[in-house]
Amino acid sequence: MTKDQFLASLRTHLTGVPLAAADDIVADYASHFDEGMAAGRREEDVAAALGDPARLARELRAQAGLKRWEEERSPSAAAGAILAILSIGAIDLLILLPVMMVVISLIFALACVAAAFTIAGIFMLLFSPFAIIGGHFIQGFLGGLAFLSGGTAMGCLSALASIGLVNFLIRYGRFHLRLIKPITA
């Protein structure tokens, strides 16, 4: 995407933002392009680094709505801030929720299989001494150890996947919290 395409898309998606604020935002992002091209980067690389202009505009509208609420404290400013935040959240829910449901289901299934393998291994270890007839004691004992170790390994993998999922959600939440609550120096 070129500089002109990026800025045009950004301006188009900044509907609802006061004209002066939209002009300032577009000018600020135009300066990002100018600085990047002065440093020898291509327009396409700068646009890729800045991200999707539609998403960026939603976040900027949310920031503008929150800033307006902080300055005015009126019902219309509150409604604007709430709608701006919900517009970001709605998009995230439509994209993130189905993916999260699949990932959580897979982690749960892995944990269930791990529990089943562990229980099967324990039963095989407990009942292998009674398999003396036919000489299957060693096979039962080794099979029980195999199931037990496999269940433990799968349990560890499901725990690691759960930790990774929680860490991802925390980073994702912090990204949006940074938008809602600006960092003060």
Is 111 contained in some domain?
yes
Is 17 contained in some domain?
no
Task: Quote the number of domains for the chain.
Answer: 1
Taking a C-beta distance cutoff of 8 angstroms, is the pair 87, 178 a contact? no
Is 170 contained in some domain?
yes
The pTM score is 0.52
Cα angle 68, 73, 77; round to 5: 50
Is 120 contained in some domain?
yes
Is 40 contained in some domain?
no
Is 44 contained in some domain?
no
Q: Which tokens sit at 148?
A: 């037990």
Is 138 contained in some domain?
yes
Residue 167 confidence (pLDDT) = 79
Is 161 contained in some domain?
yes
Measured between alpha carbons, how far is 166 from 102 in angstroms, rounded to an integer? 15
Domain span holding position 167? 87-180
Q: Tens-of-pLDDT digits for all 185 residues of the chain? A: 888 898 999 888 888 777 888 888 899 889 988 998 899 988 888 888 888 888 888 777 777 777 777 777 777 777 776 776 666 666 677 777 788 889 999 999 999 999 999 999 998 888 877 766 656 777 788 888 999 999 999 999 999 998 888 878 767 766 665 555 554 44
